[in-house]
Amino acid sequence: MTSSTRVLFPRMPRGPRHDRRYLERPRQQGLVQRAVTEAFRKLDPRLAVANPVMFVVWCGTVLCLALTLDPRLLDAQAGARERGFNALISLTLLATLLFANFAEALAEGRGKAQADALRRTQARTQARRQMPDGSIELVDSSVLRKGDVVLVQGGDVIPADGEVTAGVASVDESAITGESAPVLKEAGSDVAGSVTGGTRILSDQLTLRISADPGKGFIDRMIALVEGAERSKTPNEIALTVLLAVLTQVFLIAVVTLPPVADVLGQAPSVVTLVALLVALIPTTIGGLLSAIGIAGMDRVAQFNVIATSGRAVEACGDINTLVLDKTGTITLGNRLAEEFMPVGGHTTAELAEVALAASCFDQTPEGRSIVRLAEKFGAALPFTAEQATGIEFSARTRMSGTDTPDGIEFRKGAVDAIKGFVRSRTGTVPAELDACFEKVSRLGGTPLAVCRGNEVVGVIYLKDIIKPGIRERFDQLRRMGIRTVMLTGDNPITAGVIAREAGVDDFIAEATPEDKIAVIQQEQKLGKLVAMTGDGSNDAPALAQANVGVAMNSGTQAAKEAANMVDLDSDPTKLIDIVTIGKQLLITRGALTTFSIANDIAKYFAILPALFAGVGLEALNVMRLASPQSAILSAMVFNALIIPALVPLALKGVQFRPMSADQLLRRNLLVYGAGGVVAPFIGIKVIDLAIGALRLI
Amino acid sequence: MEPDGDVVYVIWQLRPQRQCAEAELVGTVSYARMLPWLLAAVALAAVVLMAPLLGRHLFEVFDGRPQPAWDRWLNPIEDALLRWIGDAGRSAESAAGYLAPLLISNALFALPPLGLLLLQPGWLNPQGFGGLRWDLALHTTISFLTNADQQHLIPEQSLGNLAQLGAMQFLMFVSAGTGLAVGFAVIRGLSGRQIGNFHCDLLRSLTRVLIPGSLLLALFLLVCGVPMTLAPPLEISTLDGGRQLLPRGPIALFEAIKQLGENGGGFVGANSAHPYENPTLLTNLVSTWAMLIIPAATIDAFGRFVGNRRQSNLLLALVFGLLLIGAVVAMAAEQAGNPVLSSWLSGPNLQGKEVRFGAPLTGLWSVVTTGTMTGAVNGMIDATMPPTILITLFNLFLQVVFGGQGTGVAYLLVFVLLAVFLTGLMVGRTPEFLGRKVEKAQVVWASLILLIHPVFVLIPAALTLAGGDTLAGISNPGPHGISQVVYEYASAAANNGSGLEGLGDNTPWWNLTTSLSLLGGRYLPIAALLALADGIRRKPALEPSPGTLRTDTALFTGVTAVVLVILGALTFFPVLALGPIAEALTLVA
């Protein structure tokens, strides 16, 4: 691959996804050890209070421990024999707390390990700062401020994020992307003009203008994010926390008001059994796993080599209604290739090949180079010496490019309309077949490029667009999830229509300008929809900021990366679809475990209530035929504790998401987590009760 | 005997239930056993058939649609009244803008009745009753103001006609109107409309729904024999030569708004068990129907507001299903009678029941009256079987088996919202209800509503029981006593008003604590409901897509039912277990 292609597509991921290299994976062994220590450290009440549900458990544990030490603390009549039972309940409560802490620590651990790896790249370096008078001084990288100008040479670590102001050099960015192939950086280019602190320059020299103050750079942000230092709860998580807290309060009232009511019947349930009832009823399962689910969701996004600026953004992905996608690079393979020459107006193919070559000899884009290759296949040669000619760059306004020869011949190629206008302005005529060729190519889903020599249209080049394999299936999946896809392309409406149909997108905007992008987003948002988009150029920045979820390519400009709320280190636009799935998975996991947790309460009631009030004739409610009141309460508590670690893998991996309609998803998940949540504890508690009986614990 | 005060009434007497034992022996289906079920079916079918008709009317009234010719003449009168109180009739900008006039007007409505009860002037007071004790007057005013009509007094022995009309009947109309107004403000908010103007809503609910409805129903009751007179009590000499005072009064209209407005406060202490309030099987049937028709029509109107009748029909089916389950359980339990006595007494337990209606129809009435928050009784709920008490308590805890006037549908929608939130996450999207996202603010308000009931039921009940027998005044030991106390507070907090009587509840402790539960159970949820609806109104509406969780499916309706029962049951299962469940199990054992 030539270097110029790498400049334009410096981070095109190669090969199937599973072959790509990711960030250094932390080792599982260390993670578990760290999580165990963290689980104990999180028992600190100052940390525990952050989770209202688990804090109630924490308080209950302390109370039960106190009653284990002195069973007569609150009730003078209590027998010392209750100490053993109190101790067992205290232990299960403690285990419940530790399991919940462990789940959270395990989820955090992966991010922490990743952050450590990133931090290693941040070792302080010396930087050569250029003073305003042009002199160079050696300074520590930590004193560099935004706007400083530094020089870096082959072998240096780039001291901070910056924009290249001069020079061309290859840079190894594997520290952040895991991709070992060097990337070419040069001044003045949109996509290759920014460098990231912590990466290493391999050869040559660059002059940089620093664009981030210390601690505010890209890597710093990444560290903060993967580490969860800036982890704020997502809107959904907050809403769920509120509901769980209120349910906890409701159960607290239900349990606290029980003793005077029971007293009427001459029943006096002990404090420990009441604590057990309360802990069994409050939604500890989801309460203990809630934060782990959120952290794990972020981590899953990170495993896809995407850095999300907030959990909110990941969650918003699940809610996306509309995806705005660029055609090139997302729906079609990045490079359109010249496929065929179609001469018009009595010209021959050889003639057209020569003119096409002449018009493309300065064109360094992959398309331009493919035209040159095709022309050379037809044996065409330049009718002038390249050194003396001037290249005319493509611009969005003229929508054509070409070459002016020293003898005043203008070779142009470009959009058919543009060329027509050009020819007419040179008092030429447009042959009638041109439109037919235009249509023919467009209907094939290709891009027609008209070619002219002076005021004479010579023919049309058929640029073939290749739709990415498998993209249609992905759009079908999205449609089943209720997500609309809109394709944006600079192509003419016919071509765009053909590609849109083939790729299976729902809507397309042809001949789109960057302004159209933001207009489409605003229009969708006005209908109350959440819009996601990908972008890389600096002119995408406003649209990325406008979109509810903006994914910037790591190969993109600094402006785009800052405006976006996610950065894809692999620069693979189709990844947005994966992120949407992760966002949905996150929400489903939360909902499923909440449903499971609440459904569990039914069985727990049937275990604990008859045990609590054995003397009032509630024996008939003991449907599980548990051995004894104490064994019943202990079994329910042990089940309550064990269900947390049992569900940790599910919380960390997320409930499997299958693209299907909401009704189907609801039916399936209700069956698994709703009905399952009702039935599982009946079985679990009974089994534990049998085990307790067999072990003669009570 | 004064011939002019003589009111003729007919009692359609059901054949004594005792005869059915013989019929059973020969194995034929007894007519007497079937009749109550048939009558119940007729009453409920009439609700189902007429709900859409009234629903359409409610929709037209509260959505400001053009009115039919026959009540267009009300427009200038309403406008003049609004102008008179200085209201321009514009919609409130916020929940507070709706709540403020509601609270102010309710406070103003309460003052004259309170004064009337405290003083009781001699005018229209043939028996010359004096003023009530302050705590009783306060409790009675508050309980009628909050649409509960809990009565810790015997009205015919303490209230003159002026107090009955000027205090009780007046509050019955305005409290039902307030409830309807809130219900439709919430419906408007949920359907994305402006929240509305409270004065306007209150006025219209009175002029277009409650007053005409009550007049029609009163006329019917009058024909069926319910008295409507300002004459003093009838003095009659009994067969054994004694003298008896038969109090009477303007009962027909009182009775009409009592049933239609889901108020439930009786003109006489025996409430609808008294032949003056509910003379015949026919009036019993129509009264049962009257409790259900407005809340059922409100749900139907909700469907019209959101342009999705399927949604409202499913919700109607949901509450109807819950009502039916309750009705079948209660009617069967009453028909079966007391298992302890069954060895030597076949047939129902007739204690505390009217022979005119029979035990099963008392069961039906008890379920309907607690479900709809009416609180009127045609028998003693206290004397019903434990399964019936379980159902009535459960109804009071849920508050949505049609629920209170206007507020019932609002509670139902809150539960739908919670069901959406709990299970909606499982489809992988921020939950949406009617195209609008359910987010933190909505969950906060909905949760607050969940919290109110336990706070105002369980805490005072526990305090009362902890205070011992003197405080509680329970007449039965054991589980039934627990039921009595919990029921009283649940009835207050749910604004129902019925009670497991036998409770010595006319004490300052009971009057003041239940007043607190009445107020807390009325105005806090109203504030939360309005805030919830106003928050939803401000959100953009989304078009449904295949990824949207549809709430108008049988599946989701089932989910809502389960969420409803689980959330309701989980909170109150311990007291239910210690109260009616323990009682029932003791009886069976």
Average of per-residue pLDDT across B413-417: 93
Q: Is the pLDDT of residue B18 over 70?
A: no
Q: Is the pLDDT of residue A279 over 80?
A: yes
Average of per-residue pLDDT across A92-109: 91
Q: Is A236 helix (H, G, I), strand (E, B) or coil?
A: helix
Residue A187 binned pLDDT confidence (cut-offs 50, 70, 90): confident
Closest CA to B393 of B142, B581, B153: B581
Residue A225 binned pLDDT confidence (cut-offs 50, 70, 90): low
Q: Is the pLDDT of residue A1 over 60?
A: no
Q: Please indicate whether residue B133 or residue B31 has the higher confidence score (pLDDT).
A: B133
Average of per-residue pLDDT across A629-634: 91
Of A47-51, B38-42, B200-204, B541-545, the range with the lowest mean pLDDT is B541-545
Tell me whether strands A149-153 and A205-210 are parallel, antiparallel or unpaired. Answer: antiparallel
Rounded distance between C-alpha atoms, residue B278 and residue B271, angstroms: 8
Residue B117 binned pLDDT confidence (cut-offs 50, 70, 90): very high
CB B401 within 8 A of CB B372: yes
Q: Please indicate whether residue A355 or residue A188 has the higher confidence score (pLDDT).
A: A355
Contacts of A242 in chain B (CB under 8 A): 440, 443-444, 447
How confident is the model at residue A360, as a pLDDT?
85
Q: Please indicate whether residue A468 or residue B205 has the higher confidence score (pLDDT).
A: B205
How confident is the model at residue A549, as a pLDDT?
87
- CA-CA distances (angstroms) from residue B503 to A148, B149, B273, B473? 84, 16, 18, 6
Q: Is the pLDDT of residue B410 over 50?
A: yes
Q: Is B245 helix (H, G, I), strand (E, B) or coil?
A: strand
CB B271 within 8 A of CB B284: no
How confident is the model at residue B8, as a pLDDT?
33
DSSP β-bridge partners for residue A509: A488
Of A222-226, B48-52, B88-92, B486-490, the range with the lowest mean pLDDT is A222-226
B247-259 confidence digits (pLDDT tens): 889 999 999 999 9
Q: Please indicate whether residue B533 or residue A456 has the higher confidence score (pLDDT).
A: B533
Q: Please indicate whether residue A112 or residue A437 has the higher confidence score (pLDDT).
A: A437
- CA-CA distances (angstroms) from residue A686 to A636, A645, A690, B134? 9, 19, 6, 57
Determine, for residues B428 and A585 on separate chains, whether the beta-carbon distance falls below 8 Å. yes
Mean pLDDT score of chain A: 82
Closest CA to A611 of B485, B389, B577: B577
How confident is the model at residue A19, as a pLDDT?
40
Average of per-residue pLDDT across A584-588: 88
Neighbours of B569 (CB within 10 A): 16
Q: Is the pLDDT of residue B3 over 60?
A: no
How confident is the model at residue A123, as a pLDDT?
62
Please report the residues numbered 200 through 259 in chain A whose beta carbons come closer than 8 angstroms to any beta carbon of chain B: 235-236, 238-240, 242-243, 245-247, 249-251, 253-259
Q: Is A1 helix (H, G, I), strand (E, B) or coil?
A: coil
Residue A23 binned pLDDT confidence (cut-offs 50, 70, 90): very low
How confident is the model at residue A190, as a pLDDT?
53
| CA quadruple B324, B325, B330, B333: dihedral sign | positive
Determine, for residues B426 and A318 on separate chains, whether the beta-carbon distance falls below 8 Å. no
Rounded distance between C-alpha atoms, residue A276 and residue A63, angstroms: 11
Rounded distance between C-alpha atoms, residue A424 and residue A161, angstroms: 49
Please enumerate in sequence order all residues whose Cβ is within 8 A of that of A470, keeping only pairs 6 or more positions apart, or say none: none
Rounded distance between C-alpha atoms, residue B292 and residue A296, angstroms: 50
How confident is the model at residue A310, as a pLDDT?
75
Extended beta strands in A221-360, E state: 306-308, 322-326, 337-343
Residue type present at position B330: A
| Residue A613 near chain B (CB below 8 Å) | yes
ipTM score of complex: 0.90
Contacts of B435 in chain A (CB under 8 A): 528
Contacts of A481 in chain B (CB under 8 A): 428, 546-547
Neighbours of A546 (CB within 10 A): 18
DSSP β-bridge partners for residue A328: A332
Main-chain dihedrals φ then ψ at residue A488, nearest 5 degrees:
-110, 135
How confident is the model at residue A226, as a pLDDT?
64
Catalytic site residue from A156, A161, A319, A326: A326
| Residue B26 near chain A (CB below 8 Å) | no
Rounded distance between C-alpha atoms, residue A258 and residue A151, angstroms: 75
Active site residue A326: yes
Determine, for residues A669 and B427 on separate chains, whether the beta-carbon distance falls below 8 Å. yes
Rounded distance between C-alpha atoms, residue B548 and residue A331, angstroms: 26
Residue A697 binned pLDDT confidence (cut-offs 50, 70, 90): confident
Alpha-carbon distance A511 to nearest alpha carbon in chain B (angstroms): 28
Closest CA to A450 of A335, A341, A337, A336: A341
Per DSSP, the residues of A143-192 read G--TT-EEEEETTPBP-S-EEEEE-EEEEE-HHHH---S-EEEETT-TTT
How confident is the model at residue A28, as a pLDDT?
59
- The position carrying tokens 């009760």 is A689
Q: Is the pLDDT of residue B113 over 60?
A: yes
Q: Is the pLDDT of residue B124 over 90?
A: no
Residue to mutate among A53, A233, A234, A236, with most B CBs inside 10 A, is: A236
Mean pLDDT score of chain B: 87
Residue A324 per-residue DSSP state: E
Residue A188 binned pLDDT confidence (cut-offs 50, 70, 90): low
Rounded distance between C-alpha atoms, residue B60 and residue B66, angstroms: 7
B416-428 confidence digits (pLDDT tens): 999 998 878 888 8
Per DSSP, the residues of B40-97 read HHHHHHHHHHHHHHHHHHHHHHHTTPPPPGGGTTHHHHHHHHHHHTT---PPPSSHHH
Of A92-101, A213-222, A447-456, the range with the lowest mean pLDDT is A213-222
Q: Which of A157-166, A191-200, B100-109 has the highest mean pLDDT?
A: B100-109
Q: Please indicate whether residue B210 or residue B540 has the higher confidence score (pLDDT).
A: B210
CB B557 within 8 A of CB B415: no
Enter the tokens of residue A260: 């005077």
Exposed / middle / buried, residue A298 (Cβ in 10 Å: 0-12, 13-18, 19+): buried
B448: left (phi over 0), alpha (psi -120 to 50) or beta: alpha
Exposed / middle / buried, residue A296 (Cβ in 10 Å: 0-12, 13-18, 19+): buried
How confident is the model at residue B102, as a pLDDT?
96
- The position carrying tokens 């109804």 is B395
Rounded distance between C-alpha atoms, residue A292 and residue A586, angstroms: 11
Q: What number of C-beta contacts closer than 8 Å exist between A and B?
A: 221
Average of per-residue pLDDT across A243-251: 92
Average of per-residue pLDDT across A3-7: 37
CB A282 within 8 A of CB A248: yes
| Residue B468 near chain A (CB below 8 Å) | no
- The position carrying tokens 């002019």 is B4
Q: Is the pLDDT of residue B11 over 60?
A: no
How confident is the model at residue A6, as a pLDDT?
35
Q: Is the pLDDT of residue A228 over 90?
A: no
How confident is the model at residue B317, as a pLDDT?
96
Please enumerate in sequence order all residues whose Cβ is within 8 A of that of A498, keeping only pairs 6 or more positions apart, or say none: A442, A443, A444, A445
Buried/exposed B84-102: b ≥16 CB within 10 Å, e otherwise: eeeeeeebbeebebbbebb
Q: Please indicate whether residue A114 or residue A409 has the higher confidence score (pLDDT).
A: A409
Q: Helix, strand, coil proportions of chain B in percent (round to 5)? A: 65, 5, 30
Per DSSP, the residues of B454-473 read HHHHHHHHHHHHHT-HHHH-
Q: Which of A622-626, A681-685, B433-437, B550-554 has the highest mean pLDDT?
A: A681-685
Q: Please indicate whether residue A659 or residue A231 has the higher confidence score (pLDDT).
A: A659
| Residue B575 near chain A (CB below 8 Å) | yes
Determine, for residues A661 and B546 on separate chains, whether the beta-carbon distance falls below 8 Å. yes
Q: Is the pLDDT of residue B19 over 50?
A: no
Rounded distance between C-alpha atoms, residue B318 and residue B409, angstroms: 12
Rounded distance between C-alpha atoms, residue A223 and residue B208, angstroms: 66
A547-556 confidence digits (pLDDT tens): 888 888 777 7
Average of per-residue pLDDT across A42-50: 88
Compare CB distances from B465 to A247, A263, A601 and report the shortest one's residue.
A263
Closest CA to A634 of A272, A289, A282: A272
Q: Is the pLDDT of residue A526 over 50?
A: yes
Per DSSP, the residues of A556-571 read S-HHHHHH-SEEETT-
The percentage of residues in chain A with a pLDDT greater than 90, rounded to a whole number, is 16
Residue B133 per-residue DSSP state: P
| CA quadruple A160, A162, A167, A168: dihedral sign | positive
Average of per-residue pLDDT across A287-297: 86
Q: Is the pLDDT of residue B90 over 90?
A: no
Q: Is the pLDDT of residue B60 over 80?
A: yes
Average of per-residue pLDDT across A262-273: 86
Q: Please indicate whether residue A553 or residue B166 has the higher confidence score (pLDDT).
A: B166
Average of per-residue pLDDT across A86-108: 92
Please enumerate in sequence order all residues whose Cβ is within 8 A of that of B311, keeping only pairs 6 or more positions apart, or say none: B302, B303, B434, B551, B552
Of A240-249, A683-692, B26-35, B178-187, the range with the lowest mean pLDDT is B26-35
How confident is the model at residue B261, as a pLDDT?
93
Q: Is the pLDDT of residue B114 over 90?
A: yes
Of A563-572, A686-695, B92-101, B553-562, the range with the lowest mean pLDDT is A563-572
Compare CB distances from B428 to A255, A529, A665 and report the shortest one's residue.
A665
Average of per-residue pLDDT across A491-516: 83
Average of per-residue pLDDT across A407-417: 85
| Closest residue, chain A, to B468 (C-alpha) | A264
Contacts of A250 in chain B (CB under 8 A): 450-451, 454, 571
Alpha helix positions (H), A572-628? 575-612
Rounded distance between C-alpha atoms, residue A329 and residue A10, angstroms: 13
CB A308 within 8 A of CB A298: yes
Please report the residues numbered 309 through 348 in chain A whose beta carbons come closer than 8 angstroms to any beta carbon of chain B: 315, 318-319, 321
Tell me whether strands A126-130 and A149-153 are parallel, antiparallel or unpaired. Answer: antiparallel
Q: Is the pLDDT of residue A31 over 70?
A: yes
Q: Is the pLDDT of residue A678 over 50?
A: yes
Q: Helix crossing, A235-256 with A575-612: angle to 10°?
A: 0
Residue A578 binned pLDDT confidence (cut-offs 50, 70, 90): confident
A167: left (phi over 0), alpha (psi -120 to 50) or beta: left
Average of per-residue pLDDT across B562-587: 86
How confident is the model at residue A456, as a pLDDT?
86
| Closest residue, chain B, to A249 (C-alpha) | B451
| Residue A122 near chain B (CB below 8 Å) | no
Average of per-residue pLDDT across B228-238: 87
Of A363-367, B484-488, B513-517, the range with the lowest mean pLDDT is A363-367
CB B257 within 8 A of CB B176: yes
How confident is the model at residue B210, as a pLDDT?
95
CB B337 within 8 A of CB B347: yes
How confident is the model at residue A332, as a pLDDT?
78
Alpha helix positions (H), B191-265? 198-204, 211-224, 251-260
